[in-house]
Homo-oligomer: A and B are copies of this chain.
C-alpha cells in the first residue's frame, strides 16, 4: 500500500524525537499501521541544524513552513513549533488544504481548540493531539475511547513534570524552591523563563483539554483557576508530611451538581495514594468514572521520545482512519461535536474542598479559642489542629489547621478575619487538600 507522507513543522526536541522513533521503529510501525509512514518534508528556521539531524536520506528541508502545509504529497502535518498564533495559522492552513494534523501544542488547543476542531470538521479531516497532555501517557485515548461507558466524576493529575520535579526535590532533599528551580534549569527540566510551568499555566492548558473530553463541554482555558508553586516552603512540605500528606501541583476537574470545577493549585494528598508517590518529572492522572471507579495512568510527561511516542501513535491512528468517513472516527472531544453541553464552570469561591492552613501566632492563652470561634462561625469544621513548639528565641508558634470540606468563600472570609486577630502575625498560608478517595 502507498505510504503515508508526513510534513513536519519544527524539528526541535519533540520533532527530532519523532524523526528518530519513526526511523528506528519503521518496520514495527508499518506492521501496526498497515502501511509505511514517511517524513516527506520538514520545515525549520534552522535548515542546517535540521539537515544535521535528518542526514541525507532524501527528506526535503525548508525554512518556509507554508511549503509543508501546502505540499501536495503531504497527507498529515505534524505541528511541533508550539506557541499560539503562528502555530494556529499553520494548523488552519493545513486543514484548509485538506491535511490531517497531529499536534503536541496544548497552548494552541487550550486557546483555539474550538475554532480548530470546527475547521477540521467542516473540512472532514482529523486533528489528533495525544501528545498535548501528559506526554507519552495515552490519556486522551483513555478518556475519549477507553472510558466511554462512564460518567466521569473527576480527574486529578500531575501533568507538569517540571513542577513535580521541583516539589519532589524540595521534599526529598529539603531544598528551597529557588535552589531547586535553578537546578532544574541546569538539568534542562525547566526553561530559562519557567513561568508556564511554575505558575501552573501549562497544567491549566492540559486540564482544560481533559475536562472538555471528560464532560463533553467546550475547552475553557480562560476559566481555569490557576495557582502556581512559587510560594511553597519547605516548612509546609514537612508539616504536610508529618500529617500524612504530600504536596503536589494538581490539575483538578470535577463535576458537581452546581457546575464543573476547573482548577490548578498545590494540593495536599494522602501519602498512601499511588499518585502521591509519583516523583521527579513523571506525570500521572487519576480518572474516576461512575462505572469503573478510580483508574490511574502514569508515565513520562515530557521529553523527546516519550512525547514522540504519543505523536507517532496519533500518526498510526490517523493512518488507519484517514479513508474512513467522519462518523466512523472518534470525535475530537469524544462526543459528537453538535452535542457538546453547556455546563457552567464553577467560580473558585463556590468550590468545596478541604484546606491546610498555617498561621503564626503569639504563644498566648486564647489564641486557639479565637481561631476556632471564627472557623465555627463560618461553618468550617476542623479535622486536625496542631500547635508546634515555639522556635528558639521566638515567642511565636506555627499553628496548622486541617479542615473538613468547606466552601472556598467561607475559607477566604475566615482567613481575612483570622489575619485581623492581634495575636496572629503576617499572612496565613492556605493550601487545598484532596483525599482523592475512591468513594
Chain A residues within 8 Å of B, Cβ to Cβ: 17, 21-22, 24-25, 28-29, 31-34, 130, 136-138, 141-142, 145-151, 216, 272, 274, 277-278, 284, 289-300, 303, 305-306, 308-313, 315-317, 320-321, 323-324, 327-331, 334-336, 339
22 chain-A/chain-B pairs, Cβ below 8 angstroms: A25-B291, A29-B149, A31-B216, A34-B336, A130-B146, A136-B291, A136-B295, A138-B147, A145-B313, A147-B313, A149-B309, A149-B310, A149-B311, A149-B312, A274-B274, A274-B298, A277-B277, A292-B310, A293-B299, A295-B297, A297-B298, A324-B328
Contacts of A328 in B (CB 8 A): 320-321, 323-324, 328
Do residues A308 and B291 form an inter-chain contact, with CB atoms below 8 A? yes
Residue of B nearest to A146 (CB): B138
Give the distance in Å from the alpha carbon of A395 to the alpha carbon of B73 in the complex: 80
Contact of A145 among B147, B150, B151, B317 (CB under 8 A): B317
Do A292 and B298 have beta carbons less than 8 Å apart?
A: no
A293 touches B136 (CB 8 A): yes
Complex CA–CA separation, A350 to B81 (angstroms) = 48
Interface pair B296/A297, CB less than 8 Å apart: yes
Cα distance, A346 to B292, chains bound together (Å): 36
Given A31-B216, A149-B309, A274-B277, 10 more A-B residue pairs with CB atoms under 8 Å apart are A17-B291, A25-B290, A145-B316, A149-B313, A292-B305, A292-B310, A294-B300, A298-B298, A320-B328, A328-B328
Which of chain B's residues have a CB closer than 8 A to the CB of A298?
Answer: 274, 295-298
- Cα separation A320 to B335 with both chains bound (whole Å): 12
A142-B142, A289-B309 known; A148-B32 Cβ under 8 A: yes
Known contacts A138-B142, A148-B33, A151-B25; is-contact A294 B305 (Cβ 8 Å): no
Number of copies: 2
In the docked arrangement, what's the CA distance between A17 and B315, Å?
A: 35
- A142 nearest CB neighbor, chain B only: B138
Beta-carbon nearest neighbor of A297 in chain B = B297
- A290 contact set on B, CB distance < 8 A: 24-25, 305
B141 touches A142 (CB 8 A): yes
Q: Is the CB of B136 within 8 A of A141?
A: no
Task: Give A78 Cβ to nearest chain B Cβ, in Å.
Answer: 12
Bound CA–CA A290/B312 (angstroms): 13
Question: Is the Cβ of A293 less than 8 Å from the Cβ of B300?
Answer: yes
Asked if A149 and B297 sit within 8 Å, CB to CB, the answer is no
Q: How long is the Cα–Cα vector from A401 to B277 in the complex, in angstroms?
A: 29
